[in-house]
Amino acid sequence: MLINFFLGAASFLELVLGVIIFGQREKGKELINISFGLDVLVVSAWVFSALMFRLVSGSTIMFWCKTQYVIGAIVAAGFLFFTYIFPEGKIRIGRWKQVIILAPLIALITMIYWPGAFVKQINIAAHGKDVFFGAISYPIYGLFIVFYFTLAFWNLIKIYLKRRGLIREQLNYFILGTGLTAVSAITFDIILPWFKYFYFWAGTISSLAMVGFIGYAILKKELFGIKIILTEILVSLTAILLLVDVFLSESRLEYLWRGALFLLFVFFGFLLIKSVLKEIKLKNQLAAANEELKKLDKIKSEFLSIASHQLRAPLTIIKGYSSMMLEGDFGKLNEKIKDVVYKMFQSTQGLVLLVEDFLNIGRIEMGQMKYDFADFDLSETVKRVVDEFAADSKKTRGLKLSFESDGGNFNIKADQNKIRQVVYNLIDNAVKYTEKGFVKVFLAHHNKNHKNLLLKIQDSGEGISKEMLSKIFQKFSRESGASRLHVDGSGLGLYVAKKIVEDHGGKIWVESDGKGRGSSFFIELPLNK
Ligand code: ADP
């Protein structure tokens, strides 16, 4: 009884596995799945015929006994055929060789079904069914099967030795599973019966090893969509159990009630599988959409970079001429015109900075940010920037600007232009977001051992809210009111600044006690000794 159950289970599991493999269609590799899927289905039929041979009585015993051997031969030939397709998905042997594989199979089948040739007699004994085989046909059959399998495994091992990576890992389990099944099938169905030991069930049940190993390979290496396979197996197993339950009913009412339960389960099981399939499809679509977005992002970066390059030249010209006009190079300007030109100069200046940020974003995202490292004294650079702002009274609107340092050497090895840009950006922000009060710039030696320098830019301005503090160095992040107050901001400056500082092995951070309470930006950079 237990044996019958295992045979039934093995046959069923192989049926499921076969259908799953058969149903998978990897592009260009369809032949692999078709041939192996079919072979697993034939294995399922082989186990089923062994079960039938045990169960039936009367005249059909002979038929099932022979069928068992016929299907065994088909499995062997099919498997050999498969090893000529795996792993490329194209048949590697010519037509003649295909005939050479097929012809003996047909001969074997004819021979097995030939009355009185292969199976001479079956005796039904108390311990089971004893079979008497033909003295010549039986060894011929045995030799062919052994030959088919040996050749098949020879092929697989050749592939195994030639390949590396995933295919090799998959083959590990595959060869183990099919090998175990083949060896025990040959032992229990061919060799032992010759010596009158009849354990037909042992060989067939061992095909569970194949299911197990291949199933494991599927789970571990995710050969196929694992979730759907698990769901399918679970639903099918439960359905089968319920169906068996139906047939075990003892009264009509029970029969109806269990039957209804079975149908209901099949219905919901079907829905479950469908929903899992849908989920997998959705996931794939999401992944594809994500890919698409990444591509778009790249195109955007390239576009930005090209557009910015085109913008830079005319902007620099406008900025240059308006600056010359303000300095009186084209004659003295009256106050009204001076005011207009100043506004032109200011907004072009803002645009130049913005374009510079765009260019840097493009470079950062395409991994093409380049630095010109050189030695220079940072305190001079900072002082010059502060002076530049201090000279522009319109911009600073009466803010108190100051610069202090604890003296000594502030030599760093860095890209002077880029670091200047960062300092400029921070002071510009401080001035921009401070209505009244001060902007103080400090430069100090940070550590006791004078390894780092610390630049602090403190303002008495609008401050930064708690939730903004954590996001401020992200791309396009601006305080919610910022765009209202300063329409010309982009939220890119600090992102670029962080990237530049970090690429110099430094750190940048911000502190603020909250809205309306001013903010301090810090930069720490390694000193060059
Ligand atoms: P932008 O100034 O162009 O908007 P930034 O990246 O330089 O872009 O700054 C991002 C945001 O951080 C600003 O929009 C502003 O809300 C806030 N911020 C930056 N510096 C200060 C500062 N000194 N005081 C208050 N808020 C600031």
- Protein residue with least CA distance to atom 11, ligand 1: 478
The CB density around residue 303, as the number of other CB atoms within 10 Å, is 11
Helix (H) or strand (E) holding 400: strand 400-405
Separation of CA 251 and ligand 1 centre (Å): 81
Would you say 44 and 59 are in contact if contact means Cβ atoms under 8 Å apart?
no
Q: What is the model's pTM?
A: 0.49
Counts for the chain of helices (H) and strands (E), in that order: 18, 9
**In tens digits, what is the pLDDT along the chain, a chain of 529 residues?**
778 888 888 898 888 888 877 776 666 667 877 888 888 899 999 999 999 998 888 888 899 999 999 999 999 999 999 889 887 778 888 889 889 989 999 999 999 998 888 888 888 877 778 888 888 899 999 999 999 999 999 999 998 888 776 677 778 888 888 898 899 889 988 898 888 888 877 888 888 888 788 777 765 655 545 566 667 777 887 888 888 878 777 888 888 888 898 899 899 988 888 887 787 778 778 878 888 888 888 888 788 788 888 888 899 999 999 999 999 999 888 999 999 999 899 889 888 888 888 888 888 887 888 899 999 999 999 999 999 999 888 888 899 999 999 888 899 999 999 999 999 999 999 999 999 999 999 999 876 667 899 999 999 999 999 888 988 998 877 776 655 555 566 788 999 999 999 999 999 999 999 888 999 999 999 998 7
Predicted pLDDT of residue 224 = 47
**Token pair of 170 as six digits:** 């998959």
Atom nearest to 521 CA in ligand 1: 23
Atom nearest to 518 CA in ligand 1: 24
Site to substitute for ligand 1 among 433, 435, 495, 501, most atoms within 8 A of C-beta: 433
Would you say 75 and 100 are in contact if contact means Cβ atoms under 8 Å apart?
no
Separation of CA 270 and ligand 1 centre (Å): 56
Separation of CA 319 and ligand 1 centre (Å): 24
| Chain position carrying tokens 């085109």 | 310
The b/e string for 204-241 (b: 16+ C-beta within 10 A; e otherwise) is bbbbbbbbbbbbebbeeeebbbeeebebbeebbeebee
Q: How far is CA 118 from the centre of its chain?
A: 55
How would you classify residue 372: left for phi > 0, otherwise alpha for psi between -120 and 50, otherwise beta? beta
Q: Cα separation of 270 and 265, whole Å?
A: 8
Cis amide leading into 193 (omega within 30):
no
Quick check: helix, strand or coil at residue 408? coil
Nearest to 443 by CA among 366, 513, 523, 369: 523
Nearest to 457 by CA among 394, 396, 405, 392: 405
Separation of CA 343 and ligand 1 centre (Å): 22
Separation of CA 478 and ligand 1 centre (Å): 6
| Pairing label, strands 119-125, 128-133 | antiparallel
Atom nearest to 479 CA in ligand 1: 16
Atom nearest to 457 CA in ligand 1: 23
**Long-range contacts of 519-522, Cβ-Cβ distance < 8 Å, separation of 24 or more:** 519/430, 519/433, 519/458, 519/459, 519/461, 519/463, 519/464, 520/456, 520/457, 520/458, 520/459, 521/426, 521/429, 521/430, 521/456, 521/457, 522/454, 522/455, 522/456, 522/457
**Token pair of 149 as six digits:** 């399998």
Atom nearest to 478 CA in ligand 1: 14
Separation of CA 83 and ligand 1 centre (Å): 66
Quick check: helix, strand or coil at residue 2? helix
Q: Is 429 in the pocket of ligand 1 (CB under 6 A)?
A: yes
∠ at Cα 217 (212, 223), nearest 5°? 130
Would you say 232 and 16 are in contact if contact means Cβ atoms under 8 Å apart?
yes
Quick check: helix, strand or coil at residue 328? coil
The CB density around residue 10, as the number of other CB atoms within 10 Å, is 26
Separation of CA 493 and ligand 1 centre (Å): 8
Site to substitute for ligand 1 among 457, 472, 480, 490, most atoms within 8 A of C-beta: 472
Q: Is 464 in the pocket of ligand 1 (CB under 6 A)?
A: yes
As a dihedral over the C-alpha atoms of residue 411, residue 413, residue 418, residue 420, rounded to 10 degrees, the angle is: 0
**Token pair of 284 as six digits:** 């794939």
Site to substitute for ligand 1 among 429, 466, 485, 511, most atoms within 8 A of C-beta: 429
Mention every residue, 6+ apart, whose C-beta is less than 8 A from residue 4.
Answer: 51, 54, 55
**Token pair of 489 as six digits:** 């901001």
- Protein residue with least CA distance to atom 9, ligand 1: 491
Atom nearest to 461 CA in ligand 1: 24
> 493, exposed or middle or buried, with CB in 10 Å at 0-12, 13-18, 19+?
buried
Site to substitute for ligand 1 among 462, 469, 494, most atoms within 8 A of C-beta: 494
Q: Is 494 in the pocket of ligand 1 (CB under 6 A)?
A: yes
The b/e string for 501-517 (b: 16+ C-beta within 10 A; e otherwise) is beebebebebebeeeee
**Token pair of 456 as six digits:** 């602090």
Would you say 14 and 41 are in contact if contact means Cβ atoms under 8 Å apart?
yes
How would you classify residue 527: left for phi > 0, otherwise alpha for psi between -120 and 50, otherwise beta? beta
Predicted pLDDT of residue 444 = 93
Nearest to 318 by CA among 354, 349, 340: 349
Atom nearest to 425 CA in ligand 1: 7
